[in-house]
Amino acid sequence: MCGRASIDKEKIPKQHRFAAKLEGVAFEKNFDARPSQQLPIILPDLDKAIIATWASPEKEPDGKPTLPFNVRQENLLFIARFRSLLPRNRCIIPIDGFFEWKEIEAELDENIVEPAVGLGLDMFGNPIRSRAEKKRLKKAKPQKQKYRFTLKDKEPFGLAGLWRESLLPATGELRRYFTIITTQANAAVMPYHDRMPVILSPEDEAKWMNNRLQEKQWYNLLQPYDAKQMAVMAIDDYESTLGNYVAPQLNSR
């Protein structure tokens, strides 16, 4: 879940709390950000955001990713490599929306006219079906509708995350990676997915960035966001990758 997000620096109001953090940080606006791509993240005690890659390609001895694209809030205190990041490697991922897909039932074509006379039986005694009937009976491939989740006021918001650094063995280059922390879905997201990213209120952002707090205090911030403050809309999957968050059309790509 939450494998897509959007961020457009040009649309961040100058008075917004993220504006100063992102000023002078070079990154392209991204309307369909996904794991393996680079996004800005905000760290404690740094005046400016840094650029990091969403999820690490490195693997643990058991084959699991060292830093996957998301981490369940429930696992933070039980998986050592995540718990070790909590004291000093917390971050905020500034975005203006995230996306989920939901399967929708395919409708049968009611315009197909069935033949008036049956085609009889084959050599095994099974009914011979017309091409039109086969089309109707064939299991339809599940279709998915894309949905965009934002705050009602359309302001950018911050997700709780963890980050880490890693040296590339081949070049010695220092790379930074991040993951998004997820929690149980609130009432706004539940109809579409049972998980959601942890959205931090401005007050909770300050606490999440406070290195003087304790593990329990950070952990207690990782709760579902107030559903009444969120908005969701069905959007055209293709158009949304261009930054056009329009309602889907009948001929949507």
* Per-residue pLDDT, 13: 94
97-111, 137-151, 221-235: lowest mean pLDDT where?
A: 97-111
* Per-residue pLDDT, 115: 45
The tokens of 36 are what? 């393996």
**Domains of the chain from N-terminus onward:** 5-103+143-240 (3.90.1680.10), 107-140 (no CATH)
Statement: residue 2 has pLDDT above 90: no
- Contact call for residues 232 and 147 (beta carbons, < 8 A): yes
Distance of CA 33 to the CA centre of its chain: 8
Q: Is 220 left (phi over 0), alpha (psi -120 to 50) or beta?
A: alpha
Residues in the chain: 253
Whole-prediction pTM:
0.84
Among residues 205, 203, 204, 196, the alpha carbon closest in space to that of 230 is found at 196
Average pLDDT rounded to a whole number, residues 63-79: 93
pLDDT tens profile 123-167: 555 677 777 776 665 655 678 999 999 999 999 999 999 999 988
Compute the mean pLDDT over every residue in the chain, rounded to the nearest whole number.
89
* Per-residue pLDDT, 236: 96
* Per-residue pLDDT, 125: 58
- Contact call for residues 43 and 163 (beta carbons, < 8 A): yes
Nearest 5°: CA angle at 197, between 241 and 228?
95
Rounded CA-CA distance 160/181 in Å is: 6
pLDDT bracket for residue 114 (50, 70, 90): very low
40-49, 107-116, 227-236: lowest mean pLDDT where?
A: 107-116
Name the DSSP class of 93.
Answer: E
- Contact call for residues 47 and 21 (beta carbons, < 8 A): yes
Instruction: Tell me how far CA of residue 67 lies from CA of 12, 19, 90, 188, in angstroms.
Output: 29, 28, 13, 28
Average pLDDT rounded to a whole number, residues 117-126: 60
pLDDT bracket for residue 250 (50, 70, 90): low
Average pLDDT rounded to a whole number, residues 24-39: 96
Token look-up 């997820």 returns 182
pLDDT bracket for residue 172 (50, 70, 90): confident
Among residues 220, 233, 223, the alpha carbon closest in space to that of 199 is found at 223
Percentage of the chain exceeding pLDDT 90:
73
pLDDT bracket for residue 170 (50, 70, 90): confident
